[in-house]
Amino acid sequence: MFKNINESSKILLPISLNNIAYHKNGNQIISETSLTIKSKGITVIMGPNGSGKSVLVRLLHGLLVPTKGVIYYGKHPLKKSIRKKQAMVFQTPTLLKRTVLANMTFVNSIRGRIDLTYCKNILKLLSLEKFQSYPAQLLSAGEKQRLALARALILQPHILFLDEPTANLDPSSIHLIEQILKNVRESGVKIIFITHDIGQAKRIADDIIFINKGKILEYTNTSLFFQKPQNKETAAYLEGELIL
């Protein structure tokens, strides 16, 4: 189902943040920071509410421009051609005022000719095939989020960003999305995923970035993150004691 992009995705790695900072209206949202994400697989970003997770992902995806510093994908600074190889699923999905299938074909048409069979196959993969001719806006929250993921997958991205895509979903929807993301990972897609769900992070993450008050405090592999947090704030967050 997913085209194997293991080789071609290599050119977009590592993702390097060189002295990145982001300010808005005089407020420092992301403090000057440098980070290199070398690994393939799923990188989970964790942190309390308002810590800057969504802003960080928007910077990585090019929706926001850093006030300072440059983001590199491989050897190249983030530019339009790289952004076209990315896709993002937002916490609150923006669905077009069309049918489910029309949402898919619209996104498919942006990168080339419409492949109706492929659109339908992706919908089937996300158990949405029976809603093809249904108005997208009338789907339930879980179905909307699945459609948002389906639209992202149809772009065949090399890097997939997800901003809390499973927040407020029922366990079966969460399970389905996690399974699909694992399959997507196997095809070589780099996934950057925001979640608050510690259990979910343990299940799907290959490595974890921990951010608090706009500072990246930790970037380590999953087992180390949970077993030996490197700083007090991470430990406090995992204990449920960290409040922004």
Residues that bind other proteins (CB under 8 A): 61, 63, 80, 83-84, 87-88, 90, 94, 96-98, 106-107, 110, 135, 137-138, 155
Token pair in block for residue 165: 């895509």
Encoded tokens for 147: 């459609």
| Cβ neighbour number for residue 31 with a 10 Å cutoff | 15
**Identity of the residue, 37 or 136, whose beta carbon is nearer to other proteins in the bound complex:** 136
- To other proteins, the closest distance from the beta carbon of 20 in angstroms equals 19
Contact at 8 Å (CB) between 153 and 184?
yes
Q: How far is the CB of 94 from other proteins (least distance, A)?
A: 4
Q: Is 90 or 237 the residue whose CB approaches other proteins more closely?
A: 90
Q: Shortest distance, CB of residue 77 to other proteins, whole angstroms?
A: 16
H/E segment holding residue 171: helix 171-186
Instruction: Rank residues 122 and 208 by Cβ distance to other proteins and give the closer one.
Output: 122
Q: Which residues pair with 188 in a beta bridge?
A: none
Show the tokens assigned to 210: 């921990």
Shortest CB 63 distance to other proteins, Å: 6
Instruction: Say how far apart CA 203 and CA 36 lie, in whole Å.
Output: 23
Instruction: Tally Cβ neighbours within 10 Å of residue 39.
Output: 15
Nearest to 158 by CA among 177, 184, 195, 119: 184
DSSP 118-152: HHHHHHHHTT-GGGTTSBGGGS-HHHHHHHHHHHH
Residue closer to other proteins (CB basis): 110 or 243: 110
**What angle do the packed helices 141-154 and 116-125 form, to 10 degrees?**
140
Minimum gap (Å) between residue 205 Cβ and other proteins: 23
Nearer to other proteins, 184 or 208 (CB): 184
Tokens of 115: 């492949």
> Judged by CB, which is closer to other proteins: 13, or 96?
96
Least distance CB 105 / other proteins (angstroms): 12
